[in-house]
Amino acid sequence: MDEAEREARRKRREEWAAGTLARQTAVMDDLAARAASPLMWAAVRRQARSYLRHLATWQRAKGYSGIDALMDAQMSRLQEWEAQADAHLAAAGEGERRDAESRLGLRLAVMGKGGAGKTVISSTLSRLLARRGRNVLVADLDVNPGLVYSIGLGAADVSIPVEALEENEGAAYGWQLREGLLPREVVERHTVPGPDGVRVTGLGKIGEVDKSSAKRTVVAAVQVLLGFGEPEWDVIADLEAGPTTPFERYHAFSDDVIVVVGPAWRSAMTARRLLPMVGEGRSTTIVANRFRDEPDHPGLAPHVRIPFDAEVAEAERRGLSPLDECPHSPTIKAIEQVVDLFISQSRLDMEVRV
């Protein structure tokens, strides 16, 4: 690649990034226009903070230095929204504010080594949250097939459909979310209904050397998760095995991260490598999976332990949902504990962590 070509490419990427800032504004305007309650103002504040956190990573990475002034201006606008939301929440009073914040849904990403159990945990957790009356969006952020089986959708295609996408030369894989489509509209119109009312979405899958159907969904999926600000929705993402997608910040939307660790030494090594990838003050919860009587890994004391479970292994062998096949198994009981851990945690904690 010669210098002129590199320069042209940089320009296209910066144009894409500038467009992304405009899309952030559209999301904020949409939320703020509906903000007639402390709950919606809490949503406005969280969305502004989420975008601010993301923009800070862009500024650190210096990938878009040609639009520094635009990014600074965007950060000021987001801080204004945040301040506006603060003022509304303060005016509502302490009790109302706490109530609003406690009703904000989870923003949770699940990471770990391959085979650790990320997918069984993500899909079961999503369904259990839905059974407690919550709205849940679960995203399969892996270009290899998996989550559909564990959630009970068989071999369904849940990828963001092409009508919700558009080509863009500056976007990382040449495609992004279609212009004019808000992330919440994607969730309403272009996600797949799963068991227990969970909405399911995800990346396209690699099935051949030409991996364009997988690649074109990547940027859009990140845009949807990062810009889905609806307050009373839990959003859970199941990341691809290992450190590659955390490196690429597929978990940019998240406030909390679960790192799943198995009994193998290399599973612990992977978890230790993942911890510094979590980043930006997110909370990290360690879930130990498939332990028999092995000791905990040093430095990775689990918050929840899921025991080895032959019934779950059998459901996985058959490509079925463990929650349907063995609802009373120890695994499901342990994942209920994960649910309790997250929904009992005061959302006020987020102020410190984010």
Partner 1 sequence: MRIAICGKGGSGKSMISGALARSLARRGHTVVAVDADPNPNLGISLGVPRETVETMKPILNALLDAGHTHNDPKPLAEDLLDHYGVDAPDGIRLVATGKIERPSDACLCCGSHNTTRQFFGELADDDRVVVADLEAGLNDLIWAKPGANDVVLAVSEGSEKSVEIARRAVVVAGELGVTRIIGVANRAVSADDAARVADQLGTAEFFTVPEDPAVEHADQLGVAPMDADPASPAMVAVSELADLIVKQ
Q: Choose between 8 and 61: whose C-beta lies nearer to partner 1.
A: 61
Q: Choose between 58 and 228: whose C-beta lies nearer to partner 1.
A: 58
Out of 247, 348, 349, 351, name the contact with partner 1 by CB under 8 A.
247
Out of 270, 283, 285, 329, name the contact with partner 1 by CB under 8 A.
270
Q: Which amino acid is at 216?
A: R
Tell whether residue 246 is a contact of partner 1 (CB under 8 A): yes
Q: Residues touching partner 1: how many (CB under 8 A)?
A: 51
Out of 32, 264, 300, 354, name the contact with partner 1 by CB under 8 A.
264
- Shortest distance in whole angstroms from residue 225 CB to partner 1: 16
Tell whether residue 322 is a contact of partner 1 (CB under 8 A): no
Out of 5, 266, 301, 328, name the contact with partner 1 by CB under 8 A.
266
Residues numbered 170 to 199 that lie near partner 1 (CB under 8 A) are 172
110: Cα separation from own chain's centroid: 8
Tell whether residue 90 is a contact of partner 1 (CB under 8 A): no
- Shortest distance in whole angstroms from residue 184 CB to partner 1: 25
Residues in the chain, overall count: 354
Tell whether residue 318 is a contact of partner 1 (CB under 8 A): yes
Q: Tokens 């296209």 appear where?
A: 12
Out of 206, 341, 343, 354, name the contact with partner 1 by CB under 8 A.
206
Out of 22, 61, 87, 90, name the contact with partner 1 by CB under 8 A.
61
SS (H, E, C) the chain: CCHHHHHHHHHHHHHHHHHHHHHHHHHHHHHHHCCCCHHHHHHHHHHHHHHHHHHHHHHHHCCCHHHHHHHHHHHHHHHHHHHHHHHHHHHHCHHHHHHHHHHCCCEEEEEECCCCCHHHHHHHHHHHHHHCCCEEEEEEECCCCCHHHHHCCCCCCCECCHHHEEECCCCCCCEEECCCCCHHHHHHHCCEECHHHCEEEECCCCCCCCCHHHHCCHHHHHHHHHHCCCCCEEEEEEECCCCHHHHCCCCCCCCEEEEEECCCHHHHHHHHHHHHHHCCCCEEEEEEEEECCCCCCCCCCCCEEEECCHHHHHHHHCCCCHHHHCCCCHHHHHHHHHHHHHHHCCCCHHHHHC
Tell whether residue 330 is a contact of partner 1 (CB under 8 A): no
Q: Which residue stretch of 31-39, 131-139, 156-164, 237-245 sits at the interface with partner 1 (rule: CB under 8 A)?
A: 237-245
Q: Which residue stretch of 85-93, 131-139, 162-170, 318-326 sits at the interface with partner 1 (rule: CB under 8 A)?
A: 318-326
- Shortest distance in whole angstroms from residue 209 CB to partner 1: 4
- Shortest distance in whole angstroms from residue 158 CB to partner 1: 14
Binding site for partner 1 (CB under 8 A): 57-58, 61, 63, 113-116, 119, 142-146, 149-150, 155, 172, 205-209, 211, 240-244, 246-249, 262-266, 269-270, 273, 276-277, 279, 294, 313, 316-320
